[in-house]
Structure 1
Amino acid sequence: MMSFSILEFIVVGLAVFRLTHLFVYDTIMEPIRRHFIAEKKEVNERGETVWIYVSKGTGVRKFVGELMSCHWCFSVWMAAGLMAGIFLMPLVFMTVSYVLAFAAMGALIEELVMTFFVN
C-alpha cells in the first residue's frame, strides 16, 4: 500500500492541475487537441467571445475529444495516469510531479499578481 505525505499529496495535486491545464487550454498542445476537438468561437448574449469545444470523430477519438473538452473529466484521467506512473516508477514520476507543481505554483502566483497588483 502506497501512502503520501501531505506535501506529496499537494505536489501531485498541483501536478495534475498543471497537466490538465497544459492539455486542455495551453496553446502549445493545440496541435494535439486539433485531432480530437474542434474549437469554435461564438459571441454570447452579453457580446462576449466564448469558445465552444466539440469532439470529433467516433469511438476512441470522440471519447478523447469529450475528455479534452472538459477539464473536470480530463483531470481524473491525468490523476489516474500520474498515479500509475508513480506506482510503477516512483522516482521518475515524482520528479516530474515536482516540476509540474513548481510550474503550477508559478502560474498561480502570476495570476494572483496580475489580478491584485496590476491594473
Structure 2
Amino acid sequence: MDITPMELLIFALASFRLTRLIVFDKITEFLRKPFLEEVEEKDENGEIEVFLVVKDGKLRGFLGELLSCYWCTGVWSAVFLYLLYYFYASLATPVLLILAVAGLAAIIESLVQKLIN
C-alpha cells in the first residue's frame, strides 16, 4: 500500500500524540498503574523528581517496560494506527486526523512556551 507524503505526516503526528497520551498523560494513568509504580524523591535542590519503577511479574513486567519506554510504545502505536487504517479506513481516518491535529498543536505549544520563557 503506497502512502502519500501527507498521509505519512498524518501518521507521524498521530503516532506521536498517541504515544505521548499512553506514556505521559494523566488521563491514561489508569492504563499504566497496574504495571508501573511512581516513586518520588527529592533532589539536591529540594525539588521532587518522579521515577517510574516497573512492577514484578512476567506479564506485568513486560507491559511495564513497554509503557515506560517512549520508543517502544511509539513503534506499537504506529503499528496499531497503520493496521487500523489498513483494515478500517473509514473508522481510522477521523481518529488519525484528531490525533494528528492534537500532536501538531502540542508541538506548536511547546515551541511557543520556549519562545515565552
What is the TM-score when the length of structure 1 is the normalising length? Answer: 0.88
Q: Choose 23-32 or 43-52, whichever is displaced more.
A: 43-52
The number of aligned residues is 117
1:114 aligns with 2:113: yes
1:68-87 aligned at under 5 Å gives the runs 68-87=67-86
In 2, Cα distance between the equivalents of 1:3 and 1:48?
49
Identity across the alignment (%): 38
Q: Distance in 2 between matches of 1:41 and 1:90?
A: 43
Q: Is 1:41 equivalent to 2:45 in the alignment?
A: no
The Cα offsets for residues 42-99 of structure 1, whole Å up to 9 and x where unpaired, read as 3446665432211223122221111111101111111111111111101211221111
- CA deviations on 1:93-114 (whole Å, 9 max, x unpaired) are 1221111000011111111111
Residue 25 of structure 1 deviates from its aligned partner by: 0.4
| CA distance in structure 2 between the aligned counterparts of 1:48 and 1:4, rounded to whole angstroms | 46
Structure 1: how far apart are the matches of 2:81 and 2:7?
13
Q: What are the residue-to-residue correspondences of 1:1-119 with 2, within 5 Å?
A: 2-44=1-43, 49-116=48-115, 118-119=116-117
- Within 2, Cα distance between the matches of 1:110 and 1:60? 36
Cα distance change on mapping 1:8 and 1:113 into 2, 3 Å: same
Q: Which consecutive unaligned segments of at least 5 residues does structure 2 have?
A: none
Tell me whether 93-102 or 44-53 shows the greater mean CA deviation: 44-53
Whole-angstrom distance in 2 between the partners of 1:86 and 1:60:
28
